[in-house]
Structure 1
Amino acid sequence: MDVMPAVPAAEVAADLQPRPIPGAMLEALAARFGPRCTTSRAVREAHGRDESPFDVAPPDAVLYAESSEDVADAVRLAQQYRVPVIPYGVGSSLEGHLLAVQGGLSIDLSRMNQVLAVDAQDLTVTVQAGVTRKQLNDEIRHTGLFFPIDPGADASIGGMCATRASGTNAVRYGTMRENVLGLKVVTADADSVTTGTRARKSSAGYDLTRLFVGSEGTLGVMTEITLRLYPLPEAVSAAVCSFGSLDAAVATTISIIQSGVPIARCELLDVNAVRAVNRHDRLSLREVPMLLMEFHGTPASVQEQAQAVQQLAHEQGGEDFEWATTPEARTRLWTARHHAYFAALQMRPGCRAVTTDTCVPISRLSECLIETVAEAEVSGLPYFVVGHVGDGNFHVGYLLDPARPEERDLAERLNRQGVARALRLGGTCSGEHGIGLHKMDFLIEEAGVGAVALMRSIKHALDPYNIMNPGKVFAW
């Protein structure tokens, strides 16, 4: 199949012509929303940055929405004046999703933070898009239920839907794709559309819920989400297992999954990541490759799972488990894991990170990860590795000096080589971070010209004036 030539994301952003908000629209926004719509430079700059390595001008204005009606009214004005709309959650995106590459209006959903309905008997909850994952679990804890998707950052549920997030629990509970039952979405023509139901399955029409989940704000603004919940496990145990090599840790992971052990979490940290979290969180973990694991179930089943995994680890030279048996110890351990990205940034003050997000079939994980790490070692660029290796997903963070363009070029070359390897092994360019600005050319390589053209035709049909987060996923 012919492959379209790759277009670097920075060039795509540079080619997009600005579409600033005209004075008449600013006046209409002020009349409708008052001080909740602002052109303050400080606020605009805060909404024009994420965790990606891109530098883009901030949006022209920021609106703090408080309801679906607010969003619909703002989108109606944006459509009238052909102005871009960029949804904003908490700003934790890694691929430039929230950057205003053509200017426009950033709609901040953080004030839409209500848990609307908990249906404990049906194991579902409906929330506004600005609810964060930690807030959700705090508010439903009394029900004996929890929402397991855990991408690390305390992301908003709307943002997690937009990027089809997963995280540390995905090996057992799946990703956002499997756990979103329904949505309320404001589309480009300012209609509020409801998709899905609270039923566990449906054969009624096109699966619009799955269409919007992972669309990165390019098809509409999600304002309400209905999610699956799960009973809190009766017993939980977490353990650390140290290994003499990265290869041994990965081989153990492969054995765990292929043996059918229902492990809840299986996270990899290389020696660089362990060193970073030790310094950042004042821990004393052994500075060698390690797996952080968690087991859920009844006391008997947790013990059985742990014994099986310990045996598999021993076969690869793994050490005896170090247990985190109390809730406080588990929280400290997983908090350190979630801090790994920011901990690594502090290992090179002033640096920025280019982060890979490849995911491969579990049988090819060792080959993909070990070859990628070997390239990183040869490059001389500081790096760290963390991974949700239980489902074949891992990240290499390359730490670069933003004042040295040659380091950025080297990091991008390593990223490209890693993606090419993952695709060759039957994997994907993005396991959970999404496409955004950074991986537009990779999407073409992975899906092919025909599939991307089909995606583009859907975008054109639903958003004919390209106002919904333009410049993301693929060029218009």
Structure 2
Amino acid sequence: MSVAPAPVETAIAELRRRLGDRLSTSDSVRDLHSHDESWHAPHRPDAVVFPDSTEEVATVVQVCAAYGVPVVAYGTGTALEGGVIPEHGGVVVSLQRLDRVLRVSAEDLDATVQAGVTHQTLNAQLRDLGLFFPIDPGADCSLGGMAATRASGTNAVRYGTMRENVLGLTVVLADGRIVRTARRARKSSAGYDLTRLFVGSEGTLGIITEVTVRLFGVPDTIAAAVCSFDSLAGAVNTVIRTIQLGVPIARVELLDDVQMDAVNRYAGLTHPVQDTLFLEFHGSASSVREDAALVQQIATELGGGAFAWASGHEERRALWAARHDAAYATKALRPGCGLWATDVCVPISRLAECILETKQDLRESFLVAPLIGHVGDGNFHLGLLVRRDDPREVAEAERLHDRLVRRALAMDGTCTGEHGIGTGKLRFLAAEHGEALNVMRAIKQALDPLGIMNPGKVLPP
């Protein structure tokens, strides 16, 4: 007696007929797409497909919808909350072959790219035009993934996040329909703002295949500096006062003393092992001088040392490379440990209180956890170093993580400023959103009634 093939096996067979060798069920490919950069446990998909176009993505989704098979979009795999882990198996749609810059308009200061294009690739193509795309999460993420997670990064204090810089999207819906969420006009009052609906949806409402983004002219003058402080409170309050005075600083990053020690060791630097700000100023030569002088004055009043300047391109590149490599530097502090990276964001007026209370928790804990943050917009991160096979360490990490998030929510902040929900922050969403969570569920049900789009993510059951 023959046994009917399972729906996923039938779907895979159908997709193989359509895509040929651009569908893989090999262990190595499935393993590669079983995880992201987060702490959370991997899970293999049943298959991985590599479509070449929006239309092929639509075909994949149509086949999976016909058999009720889960679909998970996958960019560069740099997510930090388990958002692309295929926990229910199914088919992973790798967007790596959707890697073309489709259009650049220097006159309109915008560009349209396929979802697999990374922000570094886009900026390399823009360089000769005197333009750049400012959102820089650190890793060389894909634009589709950055839109899906509403990413931000070091430049967000001046240029905003992906929410402000995505002008329109092409999205494949859960039934395979293709929609364009907006035209290229800089503003519109025509209908619901579907662009903002899909930005931050983490692949649970559809798969983003094209992104139209805002561009900016490269500033005439760029200058970066490092400033060490006698106290963490002095460093944080310098940022708060700078923002409240309306200084148009481009980047302001906080690294606590533990993180500075890690960065020094990893990158071979010699910065003081103190709570430190990394700053960058953009503008004309005169405006940069004026802004920097004002921030230096504020820092001096609050216990900061003299600015150590990095004005040349290579000096700035080295400075920010050290900041972006902070996760690797953190891992090197305790080889063999897992890195549980998490973030919260609070109103800028509560930032010092939130950070200082968090640091007190860390001083009382036996775990090592450097603190780092995009403090110009109230967002900071912990990197908890944990031995996965030690229940005591895992329990302590969970306690610290829970206290951090509950503290941020009590201050009218959010459980995540830029990492997204994935699975790692699911349990906090009800406390943050209340009845609004049921509105989100209604949207999910309307757009994905079969529940096949990245199931188990963002919305708690």
Bin of the TM-score, shorter chain as denominator length: over 0.9
Q: Distance in 1 between matches of 2:366 and 2:298?
A: 33
Alignment of 1:430-441 (within 5 A): 430-441=416-427
1:233 equivalenced with 2:194 (yes/no): no
Distance in 1 separating the partners of 2:117 and 2:7: 28
Q: SS at 1:437's partner residue?
A: coil
CA contact (8 A) 2:342 2:419 kept: no
Return the alpha-carbon distance in structure 1 between the equivalents of residues 258 and 153 of structure 2. 20
1:469 aligned onto 2:454: yes
SS of corresponding position for 1:332: helix
CA distance in 1, matches of 2:34, 2:92: 9
From the superposition, tell whether residues 20 and 50 of structure 1 become closer, same or farther in structure 2 (CA, over 3 Å): farther
Report Cα offsets for 1:391-430 as digits up to 9, x if no partner. Answer: 1000011110011122112111111111111111111111
Q: 2:336 maps to which residue?
A: 350
- Asked if the contact 2:343–2:379 (Cα under 8 Å) also holds between the matched residues in 1, the reply is yes
CA–CA separation in structure 2 for the residues paired with 1:66 and 1:344: 37
Within a 5 Å distance, the mapping from 1:17-166 to structure 2 comes to 22-166=8-152
Q: Deviations over 1:116-145 (max 9, x none)?
A: 000110000000000001001001111111
Q: What is the alpha-carbon distance in structure 1 between the residues aligned to residue 131 and residue 309 of structure 2?
A: 25
Of stretches 218-227 and 412-421 in structure 1, the one that deviates more from structure 2 is 412-421
Shift in Å, 1:458: 0.4
Match 2:191 to one of 202, 205, 211: 205
Name the amino acid aligned to 1:48.
Answer: S
Alpha-carbon contact 1:20-1:103 (below 8 Å) kept: no
Equivalent position amino acid for 1:464 in 2? P
Of all paired residues, the percent bearing the same amino acid is: 55
- SS of corresponding position for 1:190: coil
Deviation string for 1:158-196 (max 9, x for gaps)?
110011000000000000000000000000010010011
Q: By how many angstroms is 1:272 displaced?
A: 1.4
Q: Distance in 1 between matches of 2:73 and 2:16?
A: 19
Matched residue SS, 1:379: coil
* Moved >2 Å (runs of 4+): 19-23
Q: What pairs up with 1:304-323 in 2 under 5 angstroms? A: 304-323=290-309
- In 1, Cα distance between equivalents of 2:8 and 2:358: 48
Name structure 2 gaps, 5 residues minimum: none
Which one-letter code corresponds to 1:122 in the other structure?
Answer: D
Which of 152, 160, 169 lines up with 2:155 in the alignment?
169
Q: Match of 2:364, SS?
A: helix
Distance 2:43 2:191 in 1: 41
Say which SS state the counterpart of residue 262 (structure 1) adopts. coil
Give the conservation status (yes or no) of the 8 Å contact 2:427–2:460.
Answer: no
CA distance in 2, matches of 1:106, 1:405: 32
2:286 is aligned to 300
Deviations 1:240-298 (A, max 9, x none): 00011111100111111111110000000011111111122222222111000000000
Structure 2 equivalent of residue 397 of structure 1: 383
> Higher mean Cα deviation, 397-406 or 172-181?
397-406
SS for the counterpart of 1:211 is: helix
Name 1:379's counterpart in structure 2: 365
Provide the residue aligned with 1:16 in structure 2.
Answer: none
Q: Contact 2:231–2:303 (CA<8 Å) still a contact in 1?
A: no
Q: What is the root-mean-square deviation of aligned Cα atoms in Å? A: 1.1
Query: How far apart in 2 are the matches of 1:460 and 1:57?
Result: 25
Show CA shifts across 1:291-346 (max 9, x none).
00000000000000000000000000100000001000000000110010121012
Aligned residues: 457
- 1:356 deviation in Å? 2.4
SS for the counterpart of 1:203 is coil
Residue 413 of structure 2: aligned partner: 427
Q: TM-score, normalised on structure 2?
A: 0.98
User: 1:126 and 1:169 mapped to 2: Cα distance?
Assistant: 21
- 1:21 Cα offset (Å): 5.6
Name the aligned partner's letter for residue 470 of structure 1: P
Say whether residues 1:451 and 2:436 are aligned partners.
yes
After TM superposition, give the deviation of residue 20 of structure 1 in Å: 7.4
Map Cα deviations across residues 370-401 of structure 1 (whole Å, 9 max, x no partner). Answer: 00111011011111011000010000111100
5+ unaligned residues in a row in structure 1: which ranges? Answer: 1-18
Structure 1 pair 20/410, CA: closer, same or farther in 2 (3 Å)? farther
Q: Does 1:417 align with 2:403?
A: yes
Q: Per-residue deviation at 1:474?
A: 1.4
Give the counterpart letter for 2:439 in structure 1: L
Distance 2:133 2:104 in 1: 12
Distance 2:347 2:7 in 1: 46
After TM superposition, the structure 1 stretch with the greater mean CA deviation from structure 2, 213-222 or 279-288, is 279-288
* Contact persistence 2:8–2:90 (CA under 8 A): no
1:221 and 1:214 map into 2 onto residues whose CA distance is 12
Equivalent position amino acid for 1:429 in 2:
C
Matches of 1:280 and 1:44 in 2, distance apart? 32
State whether structure 2 residue 440 is matched by structure 1 residue 460.
no
1:357 match: secondary structure: strand
Asked whether the 8 Å contact 2:122–2:133 carries over to 1, the reply is yes
Q: Does the 8 Å CA contact 2:136/2:154 hold for their aligned counterparts? A: yes
| Other structure's SS at 2:181 match | strand
Which range moves more in the overlay, 277-286 or 128-137? 277-286
TM-score (normalizing by structure 1) = 0.95
Q: Separation in 2 of the partners of 1:224 and 1:157?
A: 9
Distance 1:264-1:20 versus aligned 2 partners, 3 A rule: farther
- Is contact 2:70–2:89 with CA below 8 Å preserved after alignment? yes
Mapped partners of 2:394, 2:308: distance in 1: 38
